[in-house]
Amino acid sequence: MSSPNFIDHVKFCSRSGAGGAGCLHFHREKFVPKGGPDGGDGGRGGHIILRGNKQLWTLLHLKYRKHIIADSGKPGESQNCTGAEGKDEIIEVPLGTVARDAETGEVRVEITEDGQEYILTPGGRGGRGNLFFATSTRQAPNFAQPGEPAKEEWIILELKLLADVGLVGFPNAGKSTLLSVVSAAKPKIADYPFTTLTPNLGVVSYRNDRSFVMADIPGIIEGAAEGRGLGIRFLRHIERNSLLLFLVPADSKDIKHEYEVLLNELKKYNPELLDKKRVLAISKSDMLDEELMEAIKKELPTDLPTTFISSVTNKGLTELKDLIWRNLH
């Protein structure tokens, strides 16, 4: 996943098509100088439709489309002919895309299945022709109905990554290094905070040709739920993860406190995240001996599955995969 091409948030103006006007017409032909009304209905305006596409993984194709406009319906015609419907505008989006109203923040839909469709902005209905209004007492209506106007609104699309495991940790905890070692992903790795500016996905191979997907998001800092750092923008990506893998480096001053800070930020952002299964991995543990490991274990919560790993020396990575697989299944 190339960082510049990963777009997970777009805003655009969605405008449906207006409905076509009904036709005001009376039947005329040779020897029938005063035929009855025969004006047809106008066509429906085009919808703006969202459609899930499992082949997509980013909203990059919508980044520069600031206005998405559907065609208007055609007016009705004589001989009771209905006007053509306006062409629908179909927007294909990755699975995990959430559409919300830009003004109210109301969530309209979350696209989770391939081929799932949702009418985001409905087109205007076509107007009725004068034939529709003919009755036994009003046999020659001299009017027709106009079509409904187009609807225009601003929409925000946000992408929540669909992954089995979400990596949670402070900047420089070793998340990107771990992902690069256990999968074929090539995230940017450097010795400074916030090296990762966009989420990265990697497929982790497991025993017997099985696999699971791991997501690395930018590091969380204390206060991320209030908007500090980059956390608030990317915390939504772990809402769809089945398991949260907390990564705390062995050289941390207080491993238990760091874990609790991370947990608290998730709670403030969305308390439901605490219902997900959690695993704690102590990274950079190649600098620890057995005595230090045992001392650290005694300070950690007893109900939290914990393992010690080192992405540099591959220490404990097989045990970590086993632990993740058991908790996922």
Q: Hey, is 63 helix, strand or coil?
A: coil
Overall pTM > 0.85: no
Q: Name the nearest CA neighbour of 151 among 117, 126, 123.
A: 123
pLDDT of residue 40: 95
pLDDT of residue 70: 96
Identity of the amino acid at 192: Y
Q: Hey, is 111 helix, strand or coil?
A: strand
- CATH for 165-328 is 3.40.50.300
Q: Work out the burial of residue 87: count CB atoms within 10 Å of its CB; fewer than 13 is exposed, 13-18 middle, 19 or more buried.
A: middle
pLDDT in tens for each of the 329 residues of the chain? 444 556 778 999 999 999 999 999 999 888 888 888 999 999 999 999 999 998 887 888 898 899 999 999 999 999 999 999 999 999 999 888 999 999 998 999 999 899 999 999 999 999 999 999 999 889 999 999 999 999 999 999 988 776 788 888 887 777 888 888 887 656 444 443 444 456 777 788 888 888 888 888 776 755 544 455 455 566 777 777 888 889 888 888 888 888 888 888 888 878 888 888 888 988 888 877 888 888 888 888 778 888 888 888 888 888 988 998 988 87
Cβ atoms 100, 109 nearer than 8 A? no
| C-alpha span between 131 and 278 (Å, rounded) | 66
Residue 269 corresponds to which tokens in the numbers above?
A: 């952002």
- What is the torsional sign of CA 186, 191, 195, 199? positive
Domain chopping of the chain, boundaries: 1-159, 165-328
b (16+ CB within 10 A) / e for 178-207:
bbbbbbebebeeeeeeebbebbbbbebebe
Residue 80 corresponds to which tokens in the numbers above?
A: 């009771």
CA distances to 157, 201, 244, 270 from 165, rounded to whole Å, are 23, 10, 6, 17
Q: Hey, is 99 helix, strand or coil?
A: strand
Cα angle 234, 236, 241; round to 5: 110
The reply to whether 1-159 and 165-328 are identical in fold is: no
Q: Which CATH number fits domain 1-159: 3.30.450.20, 3.40.50.970, 2.70.210.12, 2.10.10.90?
A: 2.70.210.12
Residue 242 corresponds to which tokens in the numbers above?
A: 């089945």
| C-alpha span between 215 and 247 (Å, rounded) | 13
